Amino acid sequence: MNPDLHAAVTGWRRHLHQNPGLTLDEGDTAAFVVEKLKSLGVAEIESGIGGHGVVATLRRPGLGGNRSVGLRADMDALPIQEADAALPHRSRKPGVMHACGHDGHTAALLGAAALLQADTSWSGTVRLVFQPAEEGGGGALKMIADGLFQRFPMERIFGWHNWPGLAAGTVAVHEGAVMAAGARFDITFDGHAGHAALPHMTKDPMLGAGHAIVALQSIVSREVDPMKAGVVSITMATSGEAQNQVPARAVLKGTARWLDTAVGDLIEARMREISQGIAMAFGLSATVNFNRGVPVTRNHPAERDTAAAAAATVTEVTRELGPAMTGEDFSWYLNEVPGAFVWIGNGPAEGGRELHHPSYDFNDAILPAASGFLAAVAKRALGEG
């Protein structure tokens, strides 16, 4: 990527950071993507796929011209208030920011479009998939349901995520699982409200919720095989209206993750049993909603190797990292067609640069590696076979 293109893509990325679109509200982002694709000379662009999804098609006739490959970027932001008030390109929307780097993912795919448009060494069809609603909004499934792979055939698909803590620009290609399967859950304890000074006349759901917080987070430490991975995290607890009232209801919310389906089944079963047991012990009722989300993100072997070989032509590659317990709805695409998902280092994670932290910012220095990888893996995939 030459310096002029790098500067342009950096400007696009910072514009997206300043103007984030929440999950299911990415219309302005999609319009920006379409505008930039047109400025790059991309003729085939379709919008409104699975919501605010955009798919652009690049075609170049020649030997192997019947081959096709997809490249995907996610576009949505998070409901987080940005902490760094001194950042020149900080979010202009209160309570909304790109705390996961999807602004960088989108800009990098636009950069890859520019690289591929200027490169005459490849032939075939490249689908540029700009996906909405990755952050729990089911964007991948919605695009699939809207005919993504039927309307825009692709033999293979590739994607990536920036990774704080990995050296900037280094591509990590996983041998096995990349990211975990997961679920979001909520547990409601219903009791009997009353005066806080007369607790014997109440059935206190806060007491049940307190015991549940401890018990539920012991499922992994005491019931999951230590050689397998699992996560149960209670992240929200809501209850009460007045300081001198025992409330009628307490609600716990959180997330669970696993790499093995049997572990996910165990977590769900024990969560239900523990919640009901605690409710019985304290004279409450309990309702558990366990909503499974994305499956495990697991690369196809041939596409994994294709991604590693392509990345090696652009930047440093590591194949030594294990999976993370984060989730990624790119996994739904991998259930439809062969593909691979890689990480690209965002640099040090210190100082609040972790994913989903209110001080996070995408590292623009890695855009050449990210765009270069996407263009290289598309060309290599089209040239194989």
User: pLDDT-based confidence at 62, cuts 50/70/90?
Assistant: confident
Judge if 305 and 335 occupy the same domain.
yes
Helix boundaries (H) for 249-321: 261-281, 301-312
Q: Inform me whether the pLDDT recorded for 64 exceeds 80.
A: no
Determine the structural domain holding residue 334 and report its residue range: 3-175+296-383
- 340 touches 300 (CB < 8 A): yes
Judge if 314 and 375 occupy the same domain.
yes
- Give the pairing of strands 181-190 and 285-292: antiparallel
Tokens 């960088």 correspond to 104
Q: Inform me whether the pLDDT recorded for 68 exceeds 90.
A: yes
pLDDT score recorded for residue 105: 98
Judge if 188 and 166 occupy the same domain.
no
Q: What whole-number percentage of the chain has pLDDT above 70?
A: 99
Greatest alpha-carbon pair distance for the chain in Å reads 83
Q: Inform me whether the pLDDT recorded for 309 exceeds 90.
A: yes
Look at residues 292, 311, 344 and tell me which one is the last residue of a structural domain.
292
Average pLDDT across the chain, whole number: 96
Judge if 21 and 163 occupy the same domain.
yes
Judge if 64 and 171 occupy the same domain.
yes
Look at residues 292, 325, 342 and tell me which one is the last residue of a structural domain.
292
Q: What is the pLDDT averaged over residues 364-382?
A: 98
User: Two tokens at 285?
Assistant: 């009722």
What is the count of structural domains for the chain? Answer: 2
pLDDT score recorded for residue 349: 93
Judge if 69 and 213 occupy the same domain.
no
Judge if 155 and 8 occupy the same domain.
yes
Look at residues 238, 270, 292 and tell me which one is the last residue of a structural domain.
292
3-state secondary structure of 291: strand
Q: Which of 20, 358, 346, 376 is nearest to 169 (CA)?
A: 346
Judge if 21 and 128 occupy the same domain.
yes
pLDDT one-digit tens code per residue, 160-215: 999 999 999 999 999 989 999 999 999 999 999 999 999 999 999 999 999 999 99
CA 360, CA 371: separation in Å to the nearest integer?
A: 21
Q: Residue 366 belongs to a domain with what CATH number?
A: 3.40.630.10
Q: Inform me whether the pLDDT recorded for 234 exceeds 70.
A: yes
Judge if 351 and 337 occupy the same domain.
yes
Tokens 């989903």 correspond to 356
Judge if 33 and 161 occupy the same domain.
yes
pLDDT score recorded for residue 352: 86
Q: What is the pLDDT averaged over residues 129-157?
A: 97
* Alpha-carbon Rg for the chain in angstroms: 23
Q: Which of 257, 265, 269 is nearest to 323 (CA)?
A: 257
pLDDT score recorded for residue 18: 98
3-state secondary structure of 237: strand
Judge if 287 and 301 occupy the same domain.
no
pLDDT score recorded for residue 289: 98
pLDDT score recorded for residue 385: 64
pLDDT one-digit tens code per residue, 98-109: 999 999 999 999
Q: Residue 259 belongs to a domain with what CATH number?
A: 3.30.70.360
Judge if 68 and 35 occupy the same domain.
yes
Q: Inform me whether the pLDDT recorded for 340 exceeds 90.
A: yes
Separation in Å, CA 106 to CA 112, 140, 282: 10, 15, 50
CA 140, CA 117: separation in Å to the nearest integer?
A: 26
Tokens 């699992």 correspond to 230
pLDDT one-digit tens code per residue, 248-266: 999 999 999 999 999 999 9
pLDDT score recorded for residue 186: 98
